[in-house]
Amino acid sequence: MDSTFSFLKCIVLCLALITAGCAALPNEGRQLDAHDPYERFNRGAYRFTDEIDRRFLEPIADVYLERVPEAVQRPVNNFYRNLSYPAVALNSFLQGKVRQGFSDLFRFLINSTIGVFGLADMAGHMGLQENNEDFGQTLAVWGVNSGPYIFVPAYGPSTRRDLADIPASFFSDGLFYLAFALSGPVLIPLAVLRVVDKRAALSGPMKIRDQTALDPYLFVREAFLQQREYLIHDGDLPAEHYNDLLFDDFLIEDEENNATP
């Protein structure tokens, strides 16, 4: 589902996936993860979603990437990122980032006008940085705990806190309001193309998962949780976060060593 990644930035997600791969070793005897108490349900939802992706979305995205020129793909991606950008500006203000909020608002207005409905990233050429904020991050800034990890069928990874972003991003998305002005024959292809564009943007990270993960479910889960922490802290993770990661890795390694006869 739209991680409304801007959509997940491929470079950040790739790095997160690579990092998560080191911890993605299956261990059936390991105690249930405190962050994933619904693992049995989540694994079922993951398998269901992955089957849909491999049968339908992945082949379409591969054809899109192979046959559609990059000169067309880039404006299409710009257009959909711009449509979802009002949510970024709104959440910047809600998080108390007033200067960034005005920058995000100007970015949306410039790209929607001079950039021809966002097809061209004119604001980027003018030096206005693209940010990635959503309501899940806003709740984290407000002190709401993430809660358990949840894999939503046909949507993707989330947490109890991030579930609130689903309706928030839906109602703050430009495509929702275009629905009142556009007829079905126009709106439906726009919605379908958005799904294809998002899946195409994820093609690289998905291939990394397939090539390196021993347990794809754990791979995706850890990548998602690490990426969310990265976004919530704007890339400036507190030192104790790294200490926790190192401590967890030590415990996992110690458990595996003790389990060896």
Query: What's the total number of domains in the chain?
Result: 1
* Per-residue model confidence (pLDDT) at position 31: 56
Pairing of strands 149-152, 156-159: antiparallel
Has residue 55 been placed in a domain?
yes
Parent domain of 232: 10-26+41-249
Residue 31: inside a domain: no
| pLDDT at position 179 | 85
Contact present, 149 and 136 (Cβ < 8 Å): no
Q: How remote is the C-alpha of 11 from its chain's centroid?
A: 12
Answer whether residue 50 is part of any domain: yes
Q: For position 33, what pLDDT does the model report?
A: 78
**Domain for residue 117, yes or no?**
yes
What integer pLDDT is reported at residue 28 of this predicted model? 46
Kindly state whether residue 143 falls inside one of the protein's structural domains.
Answer: yes
Backbone angles phi, psi at 116, to 5 degrees: 55, 70
CA separation for the pair 117, 109 (Å, rounded): 9
Helices in 38-154 by DSSP H: which ranges? Answer: 39-52, 58-67, 70-83, 85-94, 98-113, 122-125, 135-141
Separation CA 80–CA 65 (nearest Å): 17
Long-range contacts of 22-27 (CB under 8 A, 24+ apart): 23/218, 23/222, 23/249, 23/252, 24/213, 24/214, 24/215, 24/216, 24/218, 24/219, 24/222, 25/214, 25/215, 25/218, 25/256, 26/214, 26/215, 26/218, 27/255, 27/256
In a domain, 118, yes or no: yes
> Quick check: is 260 in a domain?
no
Cβ-in-10-Å burial (0-12, 13-18, 19+) of 229 comes to: middle
**In Å, how far from its chain's centre is CA 32?**
25
35: in domain:
no
Cα 56 from Cα 54, distance rounded (Å): 6
Say what the pTM is: 0.80
Residue type, 166: I
The whole-angstrom separation of Cα 76 and Cα 118 is: 9
Task: Please tell me the predicted confidence (pLDDT) of residue 52.
Answer: 97
pLDDT in 10s for each residue of the chain, 261 residues: 444 333 333 333 433 433 343 333 444 445 567 889 999 999 999 999 999 999 999 999 999 999 999 999 999 999 999 999 999 999 999 999 999 999 999 999 999 999 999 999 999 999 999 999 999 999 999 999 999 999 999 999 999 999 999 999 999 999 999 888 887 788 899 999 999 999 999 999 999 999 999 999 999 999 999 999 999 999 888 766 655 554 454 444 444 444 444
